[in-house]
Amino acid sequence: MTLYTSASYNASAADSSTIDGAKIAPNVPAPSKRLKSTMLTGPIEKPWTEEKDKLKRAAYWITYAVMLLGVAGSVVRCYFGWKQVPRITKPLCLVLDDNFDTFDTENVWTHEVDLGGFGNGEFEMATASPNNSFVEDGLLYLMPTLTSDVIGTSAIFDGYTYNLTGCTNVNQTACGAVSNHTAGTVINPVMSARITTQKTRSIRFGRVEVRAKNPKGDWLWPAIWMLPKDNTYGPWPMSGEIDLMESRGNGPKYKNQGNNYVRGSLNWGPTTWINGMWRTSGFWTERRKSYDDGFHTYVLEWTEDFIRIYVDTRLHHMLDLRFNEPFFKRGKFPSTITNGTQQIVLENPWVNGVTVPNAAPFDQQFYLIMDVAVGGTNGWFPDNVGDKPWLDGSNNAMRDFASSQSEWYKTWPQGSNVKDRALVVDYVKMWEEC
């Protein structure tokens, strides 16, 4: 083995290479054999050598500047929009916090037991039966069932007298029904439930929060709403109604807002037959799911200055109303109306709402109601939409609905999924301004 010093190695490397004493010629590159392209016939462009176009560069930066301005404008708009959303500023005191570990029908909830249609021509009878309202695993279920499961199908249509046990309506016609084929009368074909806090809890200005899952099934009508404890300004709707949530159990393809929509509204009017609800009503929709797919939180925020009703987040508001003018003025009602054959002056029923004049009739104590209604003749389910099997103006509307039970009942969950036809409530919370 030969050891090379750097000097000896460099000297020999500068002259030639050797292997065992034999000289090797230096590695000289061979001449290039690269062929000239026949595709390039003109001069070769070299854009990096050209002078930059100042207008193009300016257009580039202007485009990005406009984009940044758009983003900044959106941020500013969102901020000021958020800042202008009214909020409850007064302290709140807890009135009700029910997680339904039990079903407290002694100190909190009261059943309304009635088969008179609740002024809407509804087809269900509201019962206190544990089949229609019960608590299980910390959830409250308000579940409709078939009356024919109790008395038989033939009894619905003829030859049967049904007396509703524990009826709470002072009007006895709402406590019983007789089926008669000749007269076209039937027993209400569905049993359901309606519960309230009328005797135990009410608020005047505050917040209500209910987390619930809506029922699935054609012609079901779930609702979470409030009525005045006292009819200070007169019978409905003169003393007002607050709807936190109303929906329909029909599927998303139903053309008049099915179970992928929820509505919030106020009902109010100067007489029993004039309602300004259409001026104070709104909705929110799920674009990919329905409100019967899972739980959602329905919230009412209510002060002497505003009412806001929303679902899940304050951004998803169904109604955002400021009390910036009296309701009689808001309604743009005529000065005179026809009462039968007589023209009379339309009086303002809220003229004495002197404490908070712009809020009346929504300046009184209101209590909470939760129920699942079925059908009805008040227009909530419009005629000729979604294969509706009855007409609102018909004297035999309930009979026609009962006769088509084989069609609508198959849209109601059954078997292991039977509870999906219920309004399922996780919790209810109510606060009042202290």
Residue at token pair 């916090």: 97
Contact 419, 141 (CB under 8 A): yes
Give CA separation, 386 vs 169, 237, 249, 381, 407, in Å: 33, 29, 12, 9, 12
What three-state secondary structure class fits 409?
Answer: helix
For residue 163, give both structure tokens.
């007396």
Query: Would you give the end-to-end CA distance of the chain in angstroms?
Result: 102
Contact 178, 228 (CB under 8 A): no
Residues catalogued as catalytic: 241, 246
Neighbours of 113 (CB within 10 A): 20
- Cα separation, 75 vs 78, whole angstroms: 5
For residue 159, give both structure tokens.
């030859």
Neighbours of 293 (CB within 10 A): 15
Nearest to 239 by CA among 263, 264, 282, 272: 272
Exposure of 237 in the CB half-sphere (CA atoms within 13 A): 20
For residue 218, give both structure tokens.
């054609």
Task: Look up residue 395 and give its amino acid.
Answer: N
Nearest to 194 by CA among 236, 235, 218, 164: 164
Please give the full DSSP string across 335-371, using - where no structure is assigned.
Answer: SEEEETTEEEE---TTTT--SSTTTTTTTS-EEEEEE
